[in-house]
Amino acid sequence: MTNEIFDKLRNEIGKIIVGQHSAIEQILVAFFAGGHVLLEGVPGLGKTLLARTLAQTLELHFKRIQFTPDLMPSDIIGTNVFDMVEKKFYFVAGPLFSDILLADEINRTPPKTQAALLQAMEEKEVTVDGLSYRLPSHFFVIATQNPIEAEGTFPMPEAQLDRFLMKVRINYPSHEEEMDLLRRSRDGQIRQQLESVQKIADASNLAHTLETLKSIRIEDPILEYVARLAAASRRSSLLALGASPRAALNLAQCARVFAGLRGRDFVTPDDVKDLALPVFRHRFILKAEAEIEGQTQDRAVESVLAQVEVPR
């Protein structure tokens, strides 16, 4: 049942988003694992469309925030407003109070405003003037950033990056996929398809799926494999900072979800290997000499995977 819902979601989103199969799969894993995604790609690849389509297929409330240098924390969270008639303050919720939040170009706003998301992402609640407000149970952040521009941006601190379950990269489509996209545009299919996106799951389906995923078995040899990968990253000659304990927990949780979405009730080493890249890449900090030599975080993840023996 779990993998049926997953397949239907993937296929429905695929009707709108041409290609990007790995990105769609990883975002679905992150959603069902209860984490958040940092989505990186150049402009024009459909990042906003992907987030909006996901919300439509799950029948969840969607909001988008365009992050800019002058954006303030209260613009995201909300603020207390004084009612002149009632002579009291009341809270006006900001766009953060949604099921799926697209934080568009998050690195264009200062760290103070970026940090407004931290409590929300970790605890699913926010505090304003000493009072706490709960966010929706399915609260899910997709934060985007453009990798090609550095001017006017504010790189996210490592502590904030670690709050993201995955960093997913969205790439250019293949020639065949781009031709398909051009034909759809020529024939007016894109708008029609957007208007006809089907709801695949509702609140009860989601609750059942999430409950089913809790029963996925992850045996000690797999947990040891995850722990060895994290430890190997901390000893890597390429890295100044490796995977945190939170990263190891996240990888294990994602592997369980991935196994369930593949129709199994147990985790295999391949589930771990397939998700190590999006879970680890944004948490690794390269040594200066490694950067000079042209190494990347992705290569560092591949190096760690190559160093650790896969359990049989």
What lies within 8 Å, CB to CB, of 240 at 6+ separation is 285, 286, 287, 288
Q: Tell me how far apart the alpha carbons of residues 242 and 251 are, in angstroms, rounded to a whole number.
A: 14
Read off the pLDDT of residues 276-292 as tens digits, 9 standing for 90 and up: 999 999 999 999 998 88
Indicate left, alpha or beta for 208 from its phi (over 0: left) and psi (-120 to 50: alpha): alpha
Residue with tokens 């397949």: 7
Q: Tell me how far apart the alpha carbons of residues 171 and 245 are, in angstroms, rounded to a whole number.
A: 29
Q: State the pLDDT at residue 26.
A: 93
CA distances in angstroms from 209 to 52, 167, 206, 257, listed in the order given: 21, 24, 5, 10
Q: State the pLDDT at residue 291.
A: 87
Q: State the pLDDT at residue 189.
A: 65
List of domains in the chain: 2-195 (3.40.50.300), 216-307 (1.10.8.80)
Other C-beta atoms closer than 10 Å to the C-beta of 17 total: 23
Q: Which two tokens stand for residue 159?
A: 């502590």
Read off the pLDDT of residues 120-175 as tens digits, 9 standing for 90 and up: 888 888 888 888 889 988 899 999 988 776 666 788 878 788 889 999 998 888 88
Q: State the pLDDT at residue 168.
A: 94
Residues of the chain with pLDDT under 50: none
Q: State the pLDDT at residue 188.
A: 66
- β-bridge partners, 166: 37
